Amino acid sequence: MHLNRLSGAARLVSYVVFTWLLTCAAARAEVTLVEGADAPIVRIQIPAQANLIVRTWDRQAVQIDGDSSTYTIERSVNRVPAALPPQFIRVAQTKGPDGPITLPAESFVISTLPPGPRNVVIIKGETGHPVGPITVTVPSNSPLVAANVVRGSVLLQNYQNGTFIVHLNNGAVMLDGVSGDGFVQVLRGPIVADDSNFNRLRARTGVGAQIFERCNSRQIEASIVSGSIVYDNGHFDPGLARFDATNGNVAIGTTGASQLNARAGTGRVYTQFERRAQVDGRDTEATVLVEGGGPVVTATSTNGNVYLYDGSLRTKTRVPAEWKAAQVALRRENFGVPPRNSSSTVQPPAEQSPPRDKTPASRPPRGGKPPAGGPRHGLSFGRRF
């Protein structure tokens, strides 16, 4: 994807980073380079405020652009076992509009790690000390990239063919031009994905929204407790596709042949199709065969509506009033995302400053060590790969 054609996700993070820069203008930024990192596992652990951008390049090095006094680097070589156990996702809790929300423990299988020795680069912040804007550029062949941030924003851009794991407590996660396998969890805030091709994606949110535009999915499981899910102008390959909202709406707009199964508990199921579609349903349930049927997509809402349509809601000129909630979510007005025609851009990683190689022993931590494995309520990776 060309940088002069950045998506809404990139424009969102540019807005967030710009706002953060206004409050951190005095921060000391420099470029740090970790050379000789061939297909590394990259883990970013920031148990504090941060606006993180993760990008890729074709060099066998990890570059960090940010205030070097706010993080440390650990580098090692670990052996990946032939049979890698599923990664454990801990229980997570947050406050919802109607009381506490609990996201249960889960497991997530990582299938992109070949067995044998593997370079590991860990970038660590310090508990309670804001990191500010930081850009991490990783080799394009990195098989695993994991980011664990307490609050702020995370933009993952053009990472493909590996596995990404993102955990954010408060803030926005943006996936721009991403492919491969991924697990994304946000306790409070939106998940926004543009122009991405998911082989396998698990996305879950406590309070917020999930917006997918122009994405293709083979296997996707998206769930939200309080908020809406919109999968607009998207495509599905044969596999698993499931979207669940407890207190919120679900809207699915498909561009290809598919079988859409919808169920609404206290709300209704609405349909609007311009292409050939066979609709069979009543107020709270519906099955739609789009262009004769295809991959099965399931959309459910316990307390909300389900909207099924073809194409994009952005281009539909006649939309009934009851569809307004889905349109508002797609415009990202309810969680402060800049409009898609924003002129803001995200600049490429700075390379004008001469980088220096930074080893783990180059600077001792400023204070006590962060908890092992990142924030206590984050992801548990078991072995330190």
189-198 pLDDT, tens digit per residue, is 999 999 999 9
Decide if 368 is inside a domain. no
CA 77, distance to chain mean position in Å, is 27
- Name which residue leads in pLDDT, 32 or 275: 32
Residue 215 belongs to what H/E stretch?
none
Decide if 370 is inside a domain. no
* pTM listed for this prediction: 0.82
Decide if 380 is inside a domain. no
Query: What's the pLDDT score for residue 39?
Result: 93
**Could you tell me the residue range of the domain that residue 202 belongs to?**
3-360
Phi and psi based region of residue 383 (left: phi greater than 0; alpha: psi -120 to 50; beta: remaining): beta
Query: What's the pLDDT score for residue 235?
Result: 97
Decide if 177 is inside a domain. yes
Residue 10 belongs to what H/E stretch?
helix 8-23
pLDDT > 70 fraction of the chain, expressed in percent and rounded: 79
pLDDT band at 316 (very low <50, low <70, confident <90, very high): confident
Average pLDDT over residues 334-339: 46
- Residue 191 · residue 210 · CB < 8 Å: yes
Decide if 383 is inside a domain. no
Q: How far does the chain reach from its first CA to its final CA, in angstroms?
A: 30
| Least confident residue range of 34-48, 52-66, 170-184, 350-364 | 350-364
Decide if 142 is inside a domain. yes
Decide if 367 is inside a domain. no
Average pLDDT, the chain: 84
Is a pLDDT exceeding 70 seen at residue 365?
A: no
Is a pLDDT exceeding 80 seen at residue 383?
A: no
Average pLDDT over residues 204-216: 97
Give the count of domains, the chain. 1
Cα(52)–Cα(135) distance, integer angstroms: 6
Q: Pairing state of beta strands 306-310 and 277-281?
A: unpaired
Decide if 378 is inside a domain. no
Q: Which candidate, 226, 197, 225, places its Cα nearest to that of 212?
A: 197
Which are the contacts of 212, defined by CB distance < 8 A and separation ≥ 6? 193, 196, 222, 230, 231, 232, 234
Query: What's the pLDDT score for residue 333?
Result: 64
